[in-house]
Amino acid sequence: MPSGGRLYYAVRGIENMIVSESAGVMQVAGLHGGGSPQMETITMMSRYDLEALKGIAKYLFGIEQEVQKYVRPTVTPRKMLERFRHLMSGT
């Protein structure tokens, strides 16, 4: 797909996330979800393999025609804390 087509689908996908009916719910939930949005982001970043999830986003936005099945590994809280410390240390 030409780069212009990928850009179009990416912008449309972002538009749908920002101005759809569910976007309003997500924006309010981010502010009133019982925790800080920063900690929510840190938790999400530590639990998911974002590189693998990019393929799903590209499929949903129409950039990719096929998507590989995503299997989330089971992670213990101790492993999550170790990964968080590793990410925060910058090593």
Which two three-digit tokens encode residue 47? 């639990």
CA-CA distance, 52 to 86, in Å (whole number)?
20
What's residue 28's pLDDT? 61
Smallest Cα–Cα separation from 58: which of 12, 3, 10, 20? 10
CA-CA distance, 1 to 4, in Å (whole number)?
8
Could you list the pLDDT tens digit for every one of the 91 residues in the chain?
667 788 888 888 888 777 776 666 666 665 555 667 677 777 766 667 778 888 888 988 899 898 888 777 767 778 878 878 888 887 6
User: What's the pTM?
Assistant: 0.39
Q: Look at the block and give the residue holding tokens 């979800």.
A: 33
CA-CA distance, 84 to 88, in Å (whole number)?
6
Percent of the chain with pLDDT over 70: 73
Going from N- to C-terminal start, the domains of the chain cover 3-89
